[in-house]
């Protein structure tokens, strides 16, 4: 469902979120694919800088009754990371390991923490 007031949604997100808010055709095309064969053009793409930004974006989308779609590495292979929604892309800023307890797995991290980065922090705990 594409909302009738896309311009208003764009403006409200831009006001509320500190990260980038992109509704241009090129950006929407770039985020229309993941590792699957599915293609769905998003309504827009938000790159939140922190958890407060995520909350602000979700709040605006909720007010506009628009779906949100969290996106990590986009490696899901059944189209989970593409949809007609506002995509929240966590790869840019929410990609930190927050806490490592060597006796407990997995470590606490931001939404995006690729397995390829798993080795060094674990290794550093000895």
Ligand X SMILES: Cc1cc2nc3c(=O)[nH]c(=O)nc-3n(C[C@H](O)[C@H](O)[C@H](O)COP(=O)(O)OP(=O)(O)OC[C@H]3O[C@@H](n4cnc5c(N)ncnc54)[C@H](O)[C@@H]3O)c2cc1C
Point out which residues bind ligand X (CB under 6 A). 34-35, 69-77, 80-81, 90, 111-112
**Comparison of 11 and 38: residue with beta carbon closer to ligand X:** 38
Closest separation in Å from C-beta 34 to ligand X: 6
**Comparison of 60 and 109: residue with beta carbon closer to ligand X:** 109
Closest separation in Å from C-beta 37 to ligand X: 12
Residue whose pair of structure tokens reads 């993941």 in the numeric block = 34
Please state the φ and ψ torsions of residue 71, each to the nearest 5 degrees. Answer: -130, 130
**Comparison of 20 and 40: residue with beta carbon closer to ligand X:** 40
Closest separation in Å from C-beta 89 to ligand X: 9
Provide the token pair at 52: 């407060």
How far is Cα 44 from Cα 22, in angstroms, rounded to an integer?
A: 6
CB 91, CB 72: distance < 8 Å: yes
Closest separation in Å from C-beta 81 to ligand X: 4
**Comparison of 8 and 52: residue with beta carbon closer to ligand X:** 52
Provide the token pair at 70: 């969290």
How far is Cα 105 from Cα 58, in angstroms, rounded to an integer?
A: 29
């Amino acid at each position: 469902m594409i909302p009738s007031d896309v311009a208003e949604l764009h403006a409200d997100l831009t006001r509320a979120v500190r990260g980038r808010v992109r509704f241009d055709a090129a950006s929407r095309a770039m985020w229309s694919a993941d590792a699957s064969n599915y293609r769905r053009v998003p309504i827009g793409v938000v790159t939140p800088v922190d958890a407060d930004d995520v909350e602000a974006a979700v709040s605006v989308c909720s007010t506009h009754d628009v779906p949100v779609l969290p996106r990590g590495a986009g490696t899901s292979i059944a189209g989970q990371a593409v949809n007609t929604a506002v995509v929240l892309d966590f790869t840019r800023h929410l990609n930190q390991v927050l806490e490592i307890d060597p006796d407990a797995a997995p470590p606490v991290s931001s939404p995006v923490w690729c397995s390829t980065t798993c080795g060094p922090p674990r290794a550093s705990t000895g």
